[in-house]
Structure 1
Amino acid sequence: MPDFMATTSTSSLALHCKSLNRTDLNFAFLSSSRRPTSRKSFNSARYNQIVVDEEVDRIKRLQNGSDVRGVAMEGEKGRRVDLTPPAVEAISESFGEWVIDGLSKEGAGRGRVAEEEDVRVSLGRDPRISGAPLSVAVFSGLSRAGCLAFDMGLATTPACFMSTLLPPFTYHASIMMTASHLPYTRNGLKFFTRKGGLKSTEVEKICDRAAFKYANRLAKVSTTLNALAPARVNFMSTYAEYLREIIRKEVNHPLHYETPLQGFQIIVNAGNGSGGFFTWDVLDKLGADTFGSINLKPDGMFPSHIPNPEDKTAMALTRAAVLENSADLGIVFDTDVDRSGVVDSAGRAINRDRLIALMAAIVLREHPGTAIVTDARTSMALTRFITGRGGKHCMYRTGYRNVIDKGIQLNRDGVDTHLMIETSGHGAFKENHFLDDGAYMVLKIIIEMVRMKLSGSGESIDHLIKELEDPAETIELRMNILSEPRFAKDKAAEAIETFRKYIEEGRINGWELDSCGDCWVSEGCLVDSNDEPTSVDAHMYRVKVSDQEHGLHGWVQLRQSIHNPNIAVTMQSIVPGGCLSITRALHDQFLLVSGMDIILDISQIEKFIKNGHLG
């Protein structure tokens, strides 16, 4: 096992800690009555309390909603490495303990589950170059917790969850190591049990527990742990067969059941992430022609483009490959394949609102009248599209976990809800364990495409959304928080709450909070007014924008980023120039008047106003 001590320094403070006496550092967790009261001792104790507080806070800041994310290697200007092997070990150990505690509570009366059966946890990862050393830290942490670890190697996020359900694996829990579409310098952890992905509040508890472990260990990783090496398992072949069988059964091809994709050419752009398996283990084996697919080889440096279905380069390259090969469909995956987008046979990109509309059209055919949950960045035209087909549109807080949890809640409350999908491409289905699986979403599109051809239709899959109106403009700007990182979250919340008060007081003419007591209304929807953001949710508000000339023509949303210390300003308008007028009103009637320009960097706002475009 490699020695991480040369590479895991997270601060000059950590180096100083090596010279401190362990008993002194642990003072922060002891009663002050157990220490001498001399001035020298008091000052030492106070310093050590600061040491512990800083280390604890550093681990807590790694929480990213329902995930853990951080900088795993040098290469980002102004960002220090904080997702170190010691941090990952402490978090993984805390997750393992959390899993064991949960299983013990479920089996109350039988004693601790760990005493009756080994608690088994799998680990998968995307191809990031920091994955190998951080994986060792995960296995070390799981062993410390008393879990048996299983190494899935290169995998996808949805596959990690499915490894808890599909026999003969059925692990008690799973971890996926990925940072999705973020740069190669980042990495992170996503957590699953057989119940699904963890909630933000659960990850918060795990990080709280990990923070004190980390601080107490003086930033050292256990490299002498007498634990068995993790067992290597090939789960991805089982997962691929699971996907293939769904396509076979749902298409039920009358001539070639085993190869229902014969006669279809499908291009895959895996973005050098984990999605290449879908080409050779799913599509090829079902008879599809995948010639012309690009970026299939895993490469943790992501040399071609950001693996992201929202990325313009990713979509442009896929479009070019589809047109060059006269393919029937193009697929774009993100790094860990929990998101996807597609390109139709004419080279039209289907992502964001267009992807939501396509999935809504498919789901509403299967489940008439169902509710569909999206984040609050979708267009007014999308709401009309969904309701025009008999569906109900529930808009909710931005963040894929928020959207999925809302769908789960609605089903529990008796509201039939089969699709939960965010504009970023995270799409989850009730029929698929409420799991956001980019491969499963593409699978639904492929099945529909084959069915259309079998029915005699000569139309492209894009035909299903021909009635969707595109907004004239959609713009997203960012305002960085002018604060130390540890204060950024509070400053962002302060700015957004001030914005809410301005709108409620009517200080910007024609602007009105887009909220009401119900989950949906006929003309569009809302963030539930009764659902207050929790301590780990980003603050956000969406506002309807009207003016005398155009009436209700758009909306603007201010949202606190959970990835970076900034506020996203997202705008949409059905009239050309509408986003520019929205930005001017935001700048002149809120940012300058409220004094928020002191704590927010509004240079991007002012540049857009000056130039009239983002360039």
Structure 2
Amino acid sequence: MSTSLSNVENDTKLTLKKLKNGTDIRGIAIETKEHRETLSPEIVKLLGVGFSKWLKNRTNNKEFLKVALGMDSRLSGPKLKDSLVEALTSEGINVYDCGLTTTPSMFMTTILEDYKCDGAIMITASHLPYYYNGLKFFTVVGGCEKEDIEEIINLALEENLTYIKNAEGMLRKADLVEDYSKLLVNKVREAVGSEKPLKGTKIIVDAGNGAGGFFATKVLKNLGANIEGSQFLEPDGTFPNHIPNPENKEAMESIKNAVLNSKADLGIIFDTDVDRAAIVSKTGEEINKNALIALISYIIIKENKGATIVTDSITSTGLTKFIINLGGVHYRFKRGYKNVINEAKRLNGEGIVCPLAIETSGHAALKENYFLDDGAYLIVKILIEMSRLKKEDKDIAYLIKDLQHPLESEEKRIEIKCEDFRTYGQSVIEDLKEYVSKIEGWSVEPKNYDGIKINCNKEKGWFLLRVSLHEPLLALNIESDIKDGVKNIFSNIETFINNYNKLII
């Protein structure tokens, strides 16, 4: 296979740069009437070669490099995987084809004794619509950082570099889901001290037709749970039932109804590639976002007294009080799962006990699990605690009964109709500072890691405005503890936003 760009369209460089999405690659893999294909098999081949060169640089051209490949249930996954196989084996890389699997399990291929891969690539676009796809890259030290992605892209664009190349790489199949499931099952059994610790409980899974269906059949069932009532376990890249996303209202309503209809003790929902999760209690209480952070914080602080919990910036005031009352420290940081994970690592490096980094989106990373954001591992920690509560005949929601929820809260998305949306969005945020100074009782939060947070004393609340990480949007979160507080806060924001003709509420 030629790695030259001579036969590739002139806009290849621009296309590759645009595909960079933080620490991932994301683009349109299935062309539609509204969307032009940007993540083609040819582009993916180039990225595969770029990753190969990057790995060789990091390992001083070590012989017989091994790379694992996996994908979620997206329709475009198989053809993109075939492109990566061709690219990597042609560069002398030995490839483990893990088939349909989860993003966290792909990292574990660099750790597990039977794999010990030098790198891994997961083909996924998380919860985005079916026509998207993307790539996530891993090494034994974790997911690639922004700088690594830049370097991989630059190496993909190089035409005449010579690298030491072994003979054509080998391809082997691997049943990673089976191996990873055994790891999760053993984690619960060892912690609880029982072969079937979930016997006598009904726990159902909603996989949203993504890659998470295995958790019901290969984890819960083997731990003794009754999984009757689980739904959408079959992989289907069109996602015909609902978006596989624990933040989505329709998805959460679906698992809630399933729990109540089947009289289950617990409901579990995953996103497409299982790096995020949420749960529903037996009474139908949705435990996601702030409530999920509170629950796992309870478990972690019980194990690590005085622990610091790193979260993203849009967490509630009630969550802060809850963590403090547990004897922990709540450390808010900027939005983005890699941001909270890297900040937690930094704090640990300074000697601060920080065992958990978690976003309100459901990305939860524990120090004990390589700071890997893993929805399945998060649920395993909850199942262990649930097994203990079962003896006291208490529901999992009992652990967060003291969490104070805001009287009102709302999330809004404000469209930015502009090519350079990040620059435009940042200029709007800068202008907001001056506008806020003219409103009685409003003040800028002293510590702003992410966009701008405004405290609204009159409305007993706050709002945070930030540029979206992935889309041309301003994301707005509002919270208030008085009736019509959110409405009154938004009224002032709307007046401000109406001054900008490139913003659409």
TM-score where L is the length of structure 1:
0.77
* Aligned residue number for residue 467 of structure 1: 402
- Residue identity matched to 1:174: A
Does 2:322 align with 1:385?
yes
* Aligned residue number for residue 177 of structure 1: 123
CA distance in 1, matches of 2:64, 2:110: 14
Tell me if the contact between 1:119 and 1:172 (Cα under 8 Å) persists in the aligned partners. yes
3-state SS, counterpart of residue 355 of structure 2 = strand
2:270 to 333, 342, 361: 333
Tell me if the contact between 2:109 and 2:116 (Cα under 8 Å) persists in the aligned partners. yes
Counterpart mapping for 1:68-107 below 5 A: 68-75=25-32, 77=34, 79-104=35-60
* Aligned residue number for residue 134 of structure 1: 80
Unaligned 5+ segments in structure 2 are 161-166
Q: Which moved more, 1:311-320 or 1:241-250?
A: 311-320
Deviations 1:455-513, CA, capped at 9 Å, x for gaps = xx1220000001111112222222222223xx23322233233334655xx24443323
- Distance apart, 1:515 and its partner CA: 3.2
1:59 to 16, 19, 23: 16
- Distance apart, 1:169 and its partner CA: 0.7
Does 2:456 align with 1:545?
yes
- Distance apart, 1:199 and its partner CA: 1.4
* Aligned residue number for residue 221 of structure 1: none
Deviations 1:46-91, CA, capped at 9 Å, x for gaps = xxxxx74x432221111111111111112362x3211111211111
- Residue identity matched to 1:576: K
CA distance in 1, matches of 2:388, 2:239: 35
Cα gap change, 1:502 to 1:145, in 2 (>3 Å) = farther
1:458 to 393, 399, 402: 393
Q: Which moved more, 1:576-585 or 1:278-287?
A: 576-585
* Aligned residue number for residue 235 of structure 1: 176
Unaligned 5+ segments in structure 1 are 2-17, 27-50, 105-111, 217-225, 517-525, 528-538, 605-615
3-state SS, counterpart of residue 457 of structure 2 = strand
* Aligned residue number for residue 561 of structure 1: 468
- Residue identity matched to 1:601: L
* Aligned residue number for residue 71 of structure 2: 125
Counterpart mapping for 1:88-487 below 5 A: 88-104=44-60, 112-113=61-62, 117-211=63-157, 227-228=168-169, 230-252=171-193, 257-454=194-391, 457-484=392-419, 487=420
Tell me if the contact between 2:89 and 2:171 (Cα under 8 Å) persists in the aligned partners. no
CA distance in 2, matches of 1:100, 1:495: 43
Cα gap change, 1:101 to 1:312, in 2 (>3 Å) = same
3-state SS, counterpart of residue 177 of structure 2 = helix
* Aligned residue number for residue 164 of structure 2: none
- Distance apart, 1:204 and its partner CA: 2.4
- Distance apart, 1:321 and its partner CA: 1.8
CA distance in 2, matches of 1:243, 1:361: 21
Structure having the larger proportion of residues in helix = 1
Does 2:499 align with 1:601?
no
Tell me if the contact between 1:177 and 1:189 (Cα under 8 Å) persists in the aligned partners. yes
3-state SS, counterpart of residue 211 of structure 2 = coil
Cα gap change, 1:501 to 1:144, in 2 (>3 Å) = farther
Identical columns (%): 41
CA distance in 2, matches of 1:145, 1:403: 35
Tell me if the contact between 1:60 and 1:211 (Cα under 8 Å) persists in the aligned partners. no
Tell me if the contact between 1:543 and 1:555 (Cα under 8 Å) persists in the aligned partners. yes
- Distance apart, 1:591 and its partner CA: 3.1
Does 2:502 align with 1:591?
no
- Distance apart, 1:382 and its partner CA: 0.5
Tell me if the contact between 2:97 and 2:171 (Cα under 8 Å) persists in the aligned partners. yes
3-state SS, counterpart of residue 190 of structure 1 = strand
- Residue identity matched to 1:488: F
Deviations 1:213-272, CA, capped at 9 Å, x for gaps = 6xx9xxxxxxxxx945631111221111110110001011xxxx2222111110011111
CA distance in 1, matches of 2:51, 2:44: 10
Cα gap change, 1:502 to 1:428, in 2 (>3 Å) = same
CA distance in 1, matches of 2:291, 2:346: 25
- Residue identity matched to 1:546: N
2:424 to 470, 491, 495: 491
- Residue identity matched to 1:395: R
- Residue identity matched to 1:251: V
Deviations 1:153-196, CA, capped at 9 Å, x for gaps = 00000100111101111111111111111110110111111011
Tell me if the contact between 2:70 and 2:121 (Cα under 8 Å) persists in the aligned partners. yes
* Aligned residue number for residue 511 of structure 1: 442
- Residue identity matched to 2:30: M
TM-score where L is the length of structure 2:
0.94
Deviations 1:325-375, CA, capped at 9 Å, x for gaps = 221111001110000000111111100000000111111111110000100
Tell me if the contact between 1:58 and 1:82 (Cα under 8 Å) persists in the aligned partners. yes
- Residue identity matched to 1:585: N
* Aligned residue number for residue 531 of structure 1: none
Cα gap change, 1:145 to 1:490, in 2 (>3 Å) = farther
3-state SS, counterpart of residue 59 of structure 2 = helix
Cα gap change, 1:359 to 1:66, in 2 (>3 Å) = same
Tell me if the contact between 2:91 and 2:168 (Cα under 8 Å) persists in the aligned partners. no
- Residue identity matched to 1:245: N
Tell me if the contact between 2:221 and 2:227 (Cα under 8 Å) persists in the aligned partners. yes
CA distance in 2, matches of 1:430, 1:103: 26
Tell me if the contact between 1:127 and 1:299 (Cα under 8 Å) persists in the aligned partners. yes
RMSD: 2.2
